[in-house]
Structure 1
């Protein structure tokens, strides 16, 4: 019987070894495929089985978690949900995540291995760490001022710290409450259908995902190109610009809203937004120079993230001279996000460099230990320092003497540029009201904030809509909030 026992023992050993090999294959090498299988509910149960980490603004959490005692136990809650929705996005058991809730999901859910107390801890224990925190760069007062300023109108505001690229405000209206999408009951499905069916598009983040014709605010770019190219060397010299200006190769005449634009100096043309002067300057600079300058300010950048993606702003690189003339005054196919226009204003205020905008200051463990930080970086040198100084002078003139008077702040130097952008078939749409600006307190060494505001449906008669009148006061309120005035 001994040989039979030995053979049986050997067979058992082989079977045990095969079992161990198969267990190793399933639990180690194929574990990820089972974890990611949609039919596997254990991941979702574990994911929502603990409170989600918080998103923090100004030292206070603007998110939370509510214990429902259900299978997917913790639901996301939001403080001032509509105010911060363009930043937080939503975290929904049914519809996934967006914006910071999406890009920082590993930190917030506890899945990031950097939250673990020891290397490979999560792989060994197969558990999640307590959710970490995402500390934003937002200025709570500026965010509130922007949201209040827009009120019930469609529009967006973006504000940046010029020296660093920190995003201080990011607002889009109309907005929505992300808490409506937390949970799994029928009310969540109804809210999803209602929000997606709303013609006002409350879930569209107009500050970073909607592009608009920037109108006369784009003249900052054209002025920078003309100054850097040497097309203009003296701010007060005549520009030899006709009024009206015949678009090259066409019979179309371009006119102005204000008088005395014929042969106007760059200073006067900038202050009173003479279309004819800037259209001709764009043609004089040429397509290559205009396209290069626009790109250096951030146009046509399809990789910008803050950390979630930003829709690329557009300046066409294949244009005839008539199209280039219109593009140089922010019309034709030139389009920009409010964030892009804030970057332009920040570059003027910041000495000519375009800083990479960012929204996350740092991420931490639940206890506050730092996991990662975001540092300032430069995307491009948009113009020479001397050109930026002259543009600061021109933008200051707009506020002190021109169309941006309603953005003036006592105790601070403010630079601005207003714009009214035509759109629609034959320009039949209600014009968009734009205002971009920057502000420096009289006792400060450098500008503290750069702002861009767009209002889609300004509350005025079509002919009375203006960037300085409709968007300027909103920009002023945001700048005052940052300056602490």
Structure 2
């Protein structure tokens, strides 16, 4: 082969290689970028060209699909039960995108996830049958929470302490995702109304609203005191003047009831009567670093708590002076917690001090029911020792049997709880919140942990009661979880 032909051959080969590299780049990189572009209408058309897969609760789908009245989007999403499951499913809309489980598993539910395609389908580009998302939600617990909250503004979460399975998650006021799933004028009007609603029905308060936890946080402070040896028994008297002078200020930390036996009260008595002076002083005695370390073992200050929907961060603050540390010890100052976070605290105590990773999806399957991905139970971390957990469960039972949590009692079942009231704003003058956190154990191997918060924007602080507003909701959820009738 002469030199000219050889050079021409090499040049031609380089051109072919260059074309192959460019085509591969366009398919693998530019093509994927185009496919992921939210403004690419071809993606929306493909998403709604066929019925979507389903989100399943208790073995039954709570979602569906229906044909549209024309246009290039053949189907739209439907939802069973209106707003009952919106805090779980989120929404899937032809116009406004998708959120929560609908958004996270959009590829599975729309049939575009590569795991759904067989090799022949991948080669031919044939449309694949969508998959399903199987949740851990118990419909009876969900119904109990939704009915209990009713027209109140608030949220409720129930967790199986041993497995971390989320059995119920409700946020109210709720909304019907079906009304915004299409592209009609009615859907647009419904969307605008939801966005303008001052009560924020589209806010998932169970996961995304972080409230001051109030007296429910006293469980964390008590755990820190026992774990760090500040006190060795829940019946040991503390050193707690009543009222407690806040260090470095002229203010005093007082209690709701002037007649409560809170001076130098034991942890058991202090939880029973929710003594602010005891836990404010206890937080100062421990120091903020030890309280923070205890809180973080329960999940506070975690930036990426995914269940798989990401929860808002629950915060125990840094850089406080002693007076602020005292207020943080009673769940005020800059403490914040989601209902999910407080359910995790109680779940860990109910589970012998082990915090099982919370999750609300158990499996993702293809259209034939073949499991593509599982989320196993049991992954856990130790929040407190088994001894500390047992002591605090005993104290929580005393709160229900003899203290401020009487409305959570269930006949024949061990129930432990803690009430809480809190406020945001300057001098705690903002919206008052009523909390109740609890666990129930039927003695037959079945447990449930619950957190309920109720916002009372039109009530004065003295009229807000965790026992009156939140405990009956928690009781109904616990009964539903344990199937106690």
Distance, in Å, in 1 between the alignment partners of 2:272 and 2:37 is 61
Distance, in Å, in 2 between the alignment partners of 1:350 and 1:222 is 18
Say if 2:107 is the partner of 1:106: yes
Matched residue SS, 1:207: helix
Q: Who is 1:393 aligned against?
A: 394
Say if 2:59 is the partner of 1:46: no
Alpha-carbon offset, residue 18 of structure 1: 9.9
Distance, in Å, in 1 between the alignment partners of 2:37 and 2:359 is 34
User: CA separation of 1:218/1:367 partners in 2, compared to 1, >3 Å: closer, same or farther?
Assistant: same
Q: Who is 2:307 aligned against?
A: 306
Alpha-carbon offset, residue 78 of structure 1: 0.2
Alignment of 1:170-249 (within 5 A): 170-249=169-248
Alignment of 1:443-462 (within 5 A): 444-445=444-445, 447-457=446-456, 462=461
Alpha-carbon offset, residue 391 of structure 1: 0.4
Distance, in Å, in 2 between the alignment partners of 1:330 and 1:193 is 36
Per-residue CA deviations over 1:111-151 (Å, capped at 9, x if unaligned) read 12222234xx5542334421101010001000010011011
Matched residue SS, 1:64: strand
Say if 2:321 is the partner of 1:315: no
Q: Who is 1:63 aligned against?
A: 63
Distance, in Å, in 1 between the alignment partners of 2:368 and 2:420 is 47
User: Runs of 5+ in structure 1 lacking a partner?
Assistant: 1-9
Q: Who is 1:136 aligned against?
A: 135
Alpha-carbon offset, residue 425 of structure 1: 2.1
Matched residue SS, 2:205: coil
Per-residue CA deviations over 1:63-87 (Å, capped at 9, x if unaligned) read 0000124311110000012010011
Alpha-carbon offset, residue 104 of structure 1: 1.2
Distance, in Å, in 1 between the alignment partners of 2:374 and 2:63 is 20
Distance, in Å, in 2 between the alignment partners of 1:268 and 1:459 is 32
Alpha-carbon offset, residue 380 of structure 1: 3.1
TM-score normalized by the length of structure 1? 0.92
Distance, in Å, in 2 between the alignment partners of 1:28 and 1:430 is 52
Whether the aligned pair in 1 keeps the contact of 2:298 and 2:344 (CA below 8 Å) is yes
Q: Who is 2:164 aligned against?
A: 165
User: CA separation of 1:260/1:187 partners in 2, compared to 1, >3 Å: closer, same or farther?
Assistant: same
Q: How many residues are aligned here?
A: 470
Distance, in Å, in 2 between the alignment partners of 1:182 and 1:290 is 45
Distance, in Å, in 1 between the alignment partners of 2:406 and 2:46 is 56
Distance, in Å, in 1 between the alignment partners of 2:436 and 2:174 is 21
Distance, in Å, in 2 between the alignment partners of 1:213 and 1:309 is 19
Distance, in Å, in 1 between the alignment partners of 2:187 and 2:204 is 20
Distance, in Å, in 2 between the alignment partners of 1:240 and 1:24 is 73
User: Runs of 5+ in structure 2 lacking a partner?
Assistant: 1-8
**For the aligned residues, what is the CA RMSD?**
2.2
Q: Who is 1:264 aligned against?
A: 265
